[in-house]
Amino acid sequence: MTTTADVPVGGQYSLLETEDEKELAATLRGLLTKRAEWQQVLARTEEESSTDLELWKQIAGELGLAGLAVPEELGGAGASWREVAVVMTELGRATAPVPYFGSAVLATAALLHAGDKKLISEIASGEKTATLAVPFSAGPGKPFTPTVTVSEGRLTGSIPVVADALAADVLVVPAADGLYAVASADATVAPAVSLDMTRQLADITLDGAQGTSLGGDAVGAVHHALLIGAAMLSSEMYGVAQNALDTAVAYMKQRYQFGRLIGSYQGLKHRMADVSVSVSQLQAAAKYAAATAGENDPDLPVATAVAKAHASVTAPKAAEECLQMHGGQGMTWENPSHVMLKRAKADSIGMGRADAHRTWLGELIELSA
């Protein structure tokens, strides 16, 4: 008889897509193919706000994907972070300019941990869009200390480079005595320079802003949200990397040089084979991290550190190779490689860089330097 002790760590999870996950991915990909082709995404980056709010309404409201990880009794779909990872993969594949990460991942994870019921229902329904007011570069492997002070319900402080803050109706702000909900209109939300123009960043300043206490353990909620965020961002980076690989291979199958398809050159085939292997490894690592997140498995921190460290190297590499395979055409702005490369580079910093996750992984498994 097989006992729990006989099952290797992670062996209880199937990393193959379920029928529901395939249907979810196909539905969202169909929408994104129509509404977020890379030319549309690129054109939107020239506008003052690159966020596609109409597309966001369709994803959050009509498809009901904003509340995938929220229990049904709180107005959500009652799915799990594993299904959220499927959404993140498709959004990464399209480099879609929507605030899903800030609202459906970071803010939702923090509110679930804090035990909030009202605001999370409004987020799950798509009625409101929120984000967690923490720097995009913050990772789960380092201690978090709130920088915002509270006096008689009014919040004062600043938080730099917050993802999806420009599109948020509500800011979920961590303070020493818990989380607070602050209307974006009561804060100064200023655009910050972002490498990835498809996901804008913003600096938040609170100058005595009125806040509504959501309670909870702010430090614990932020750590949980960053942990889930890093796991979900790994799935998004897998989507970016897979699209870069597919785009490069497709081009190599139709571009001739010196009378031969460039895909027939041995040196180029080897380079893309290396990318393919790395992307396959990333897919497995990201899916395992999502599976552990979905089950709140104790192995989640280790799985997340492995996935994010691998993703932060693989996704930029895949996008760089995609650009290189396009030759001179790849050097022009009118090429999809640039959009993918900037999303991959920005994501490699978001929720902790590769070296930070490797260091954290060493601590988690008690591996001395």
Q: What is the mean pLDDT of each run of 10 residues along the chain (369 residues)?
A: 53 88 97 94 89 96 96 96 98 98 98 96 97 97 94 96 98 97 98 94 98 94 98 98 98 94 95 98 98 96 98 98 93 89 98 97 86
pLDDT score for 222:
98
End-to-end, the C-alpha distance of the chain in Å comes to 40
Q: At what angle do helices 300-325 and 354-364 cross, to 10 degrees?
A: 150
Q: Token pair for residue 190?
A: 């200023």
- Kindly give the residue spans of alpha helices, DSSP state H, lying in 36-69: 38-44, 53-57
- Per-residue b/e over 225-262, b at no fewer than 16 CB within 10 Å? bbbbbbbbbbbbbbbbbbbbbebbbebbeeeeeeeeeb
Q: How far apart, in Å, are the Cα atoms of 233 and each of 23, 33, 170?
A: 21, 21, 22
Q: How far apart, in Å, are the Cα atoms of 158 and each of 38, 120, 130, 162, 205?
A: 34, 24, 17, 10, 4
pLDDT score for 314:
98
Question: CA angle, corner 56, sides to 26 and 67, nearest 5?
Answer: 75
